[in-house]
Amino acid sequence: MTKELKQYINGQWVESSDPKKLNIINPATQEVIARAAKATKEETEETIKIAKRTFESGVWSDRSPQERAAVLVQIADKLQENIDELTELEVQNNGKTRREARSDAEEAANTFRYYAGLLNIPNDQAYEASEDMQTLIVKEPIGVAGLIVPWNFPLLMSVWKIAPALAAGNSILLKPAEITPMTAVKVFELIDESDLPKGVANLLMGSGSVVGQTIAESDDVDVVSFTGSTGVGRHIMQAATGNMKKVSLELGGKSPNIIFDDADLETAVDYSLFGIFMGSGQVCSSGSRILVQEGIYDEFVEKYVEKAKGIRVGPGNDKQSQMGAIVSEKHFESILEYIRIGKEEGANLAQGGNRIKKDGLEKGFFIEPTVFTHVTSDMRIVREEIFGPVVTIQKFKNEEEAIKIANDTVFGLAGAVFSTDQNKALRVIKKVRAGITWVNAYHLTNIQAPWGGYKQSGIGRSLGTYGLGEYQETKQININLSPKPIHWFE
Ligand code: NAD
């Protein structure tokens, strides 16, 4: 039976006043798996007011860090108990493989647990500014946090925002991407079972131009945290100027993955496949530009193409599948269009490039792992974020040229270097203008470390202590220990 997804406002599951529903599709089969409510502008404004009232009432914002931590642990436990269901929902709604979805679900539970733990470590400071003055630096919640998430990690991106925003004591309104609300709804079902006071956490589904835009513009939202494309991020920044709300942006990337002649070839090939084909390339930090030194270029390409050809593409719920479906027809068409552009630009299509229709995959949005070689920095497939299973392999001569090509982009999200010379690897990675980087690895990261980009890949950081800071104000309290007049005007 098709599931009906309602909105969660003030602790109640409610329908939208707009009778039109959004059909939620399984991209591996094109089946309609759910129908989601579609919030109106008025409902969004009303929900923001509820969040504001709840924040001002102090039911959550005034609770001690330890009390808040206890609720976060409850939610972490509930996520943990529901990992199988969360995995299944993510596979169905997003198209990713079970292995990928399960790892996201585990990280979601761990993220709540991590922020609960962080609340038990004081992060305020006190010092003597002078003989008579004691200064305290304290952290406080900001107010109402508007959280807008994309479709590529529907569960994880929601939790990366909900957990620190609640930990800090804010009231929240989450908007998942129109096409992938299923795991967000499940998270709110679990939040509903916890001791979080009603009205602190709210969920609205609907379009970016209505719900997202209203959140970004609202004078009653104090911080907007957005993960998505650079284009929409720019729009959010402009919309947020009315009340000068704090803006936190995690945006797109076109990340370089640099392989030197002295790299361990097997390791470099292996991680470089993982770097782009994990999540079917629909990952912001994907290593979509592989740069290989000229001495091993041909050998690297030969090995890489052979392995890319062997990746088994199929529905996420099939144990054999190593790479899943593309999330939607619209995005699928956009990736195929980039492949067409690459061919037209004169890049060499060394592998893939086609829709996969065989073996029962006819109805799904499946694309072959695609590799372009002999590309140049001016090509659109090298400059623009394709956000699919498409990688370019470019040749460089020396260290200096590798750094120059790596940084020749408006983005600055991620990057990697492969070399057995640790000094060189460190020298080069320090020159790569990006926020998330690796030496002899790709994609492996942890929730303790700040996540975010340089340049047009964003503003601010998720995760770690930095992630909590995105949802906090910092106040100085100066305490006069010897109160007496200072006679300034005498
Ligand atoms: P998107 O920008 O199209 O949409 C993201 C969210 O913004 C959705 O919920 C959407 O409904 C909403 N939105 C759309 N228009 C809006 C508007 N005018 N005002 C407010 N909200 C609006 O992105 P997407 O296609 O869902 O996701 C893919 C993009 O996300 C890629 O560019 C990817 O690199 C990026 N991403 C970045 C990170 C990161 O950590 N840096 C992580 C995941 C994804």
Percent of the chain at pLDDT > 90 equals: 98
The domains located in the chain, with CATH, are 3-251+457-476 (3.40.605.10), 256-439 (3.40.309.10)
Residue 390: band (very low, low, confident or very high) from pLDDT cuts 50, 70, 90: very high
Nearest to 462 by CA among 444, 446, 443: 446
Q: Is the pLDDT of residue 180 over 90?
A: yes
pTM: 0.97
Examine the residue annotation and report whether 189 is marked as an active-site residue of this protein: no
Q: Is the pLDDT of residue 123 over 90?
A: no
Residue 115: band (very low, low, confident or very high) from pLDDT cuts 50, 70, 90: very high
What is the C-alpha to C-alpha distance for residues 220 and 437, in angstroms, rounded to an integer? 37
Per-residue pLDDT tens over the stretch 265-322: 999 999 999 999 999 999 999 999 999 999 999 999 999 999 999 999 999 999 999 9
Atom of ligand 1 nearest to the CA of 462: 40
Residue 186: band (very low, low, confident or very high) from pLDDT cuts 50, 70, 90: very high
Examine the residue annotation and report whether 250 is marked as an active-site residue of this protein: yes
Q: Is the pLDDT of residue 359 over 90?
A: no
Q: What is the largest CA-CA distance in the chain?
A: 91
Q: How many helices (H) and strands (E) does the chain have?
A: 15, 23
Phi, psi of 60 (to 5 degrees): -120, -45
Residue 124: band (very low, low, confident or very high) from pLDDT cuts 50, 70, 90: confident
Nearest CA to ligand 1 atom 15: 208
The CA-atom distances, in angstroms, between 257 and each of 11, 332, 377 are 46, 24, 14
Catalytic residue among 284, 368, 385, 470: 284
Residue 171: band (very low, low, confident or very high) from pLDDT cuts 50, 70, 90: very high
Per-residue pLDDT tens over the stretch 361-372: 999 999 999 999
327 lines ligand 1 (CB under 6 A): no
Residue 95: band (very low, low, confident or very high) from pLDDT cuts 50, 70, 90: very high
For position 272, what pLDDT does the model report? Answer: 98
